[in-house]
Chain A
């Protein structure tokens, strides 16, 4: 077997051809990356997805698939949707706090103006 097989072909126990669609993105030094993606999406689906993309976007696609697969392994119920939900909650809380702080500014400014006016009188 070719010792320079990519991680995908190593995992799938097959020959790694010269034009292997996985090899640019799954180096043999990182076997877990493909294992995780394969567990969630399957090799066939990933291959199809990559084939439908222009070559220059495939690296980014693999990284995002890898991220989502990792999220799904760590949280089998919500996957990365859990992160989206968390971020949306965080946004709401921060917006509320910001609105409150801006209201405090308005009150403090009004108080300060009143103090200045009363000093002149």
Chain B
């Protein structure tokens, strides 16, 4: 973009210098968007941005510029917290959603356990009808109900059978972001 006869890039325009053919800024700061470089220059400084770009392979520079522009704009909007404000907000959102998910998963476990308990007691009543009714020729409904209750008492389905149907709590932990910085403290 730089060079004689062509319009200087936004950086060279702001810095009031000749835009060289190999200007490191030219591919990423076109002259029709002066604000983009202005905000990056204000927060990071032209020489720092130049150094950062020169240390990166060419194919990564566009992404680097975009992220620098994003951070600079965030800092301009919120001079105290910058991007960290957004990170804090999103982390809260993640925590809330994970709590809601944990509650929902617990609820479905309870429903499933209730359902299994109901089915089990129903099957046991049927077995009682087939096996024990012969021994009790004049069994009343009350006796059958009592057997119902005794079969219900102390019944517990193994949690392993239930858990295999649902995402385990550890899967929630797996969704935690893996970043180089500890989540509980933004400042460490």
Which residues of A are interface residues toward B (Cβ below 8 A)?
Answer: 39-42, 44-45, 49, 52-53, 57, 60-61, 63-68, 70-72, 74, 76-84, 86-88, 90-91, 93-95, 97-98, 101-102, 104-105, 108-109, 111-112, 115-116, 119
Contacts and interface: CB of A to CB of B under 8 A. Distances in A.
A83 B177 contact: yes
Nearest to A64: B84
A71 B111 CA distance: 44
A60 B48 CA distance: 23
Contacts of B60: 77
A25 to B, nearest CB: 12
Contacts of A93: 175
A95 B98 CA distance: 9
A45 B98 CA distance: 39
Centre residue among B42, B97, B186 by max chain A CB count within 10 A? B97
B90 A67 contact: no
Contact of A88 (B90, B111, B115): B90
Interface of B: 42-45, 47-48, 52, 55-56, 60, 63-64, 67-68, 70-71, 75, 79-87, 90-91, 93-94, 97-98, 100-101, 104-105, 107-108, 111-112, 114-115, 118-119, 122, 167, 175-177, 179-181, 186-187
B183 to A, nearest CB: 10
B112 A78 contact: no
Contacts of B118: 112, 115-116, 119
B87 A84 contact: yes
Contacts of A116: 118
12 contacts: A45-B42, A49-B43, A57-B80, A70-B181, A81-B71, A83-B177, A84-B86, A87-B93, A105-B107, A108-B111, A112-B118, A116-B118
Contacts, number: 143
B79 A76 contact: no
Contact of A49 (B71, B79, B100, B108): B79
A112 B115 contact: yes
Nearest to B101: A98
B97 A83 contact: no
Contacts of A108: 108, 111-112, 115
A42 B47 CA distance: 9
Nearest to B64: A77
Contacts of A76: 52, 55-56, 64
A27 B155 CA distance: 64
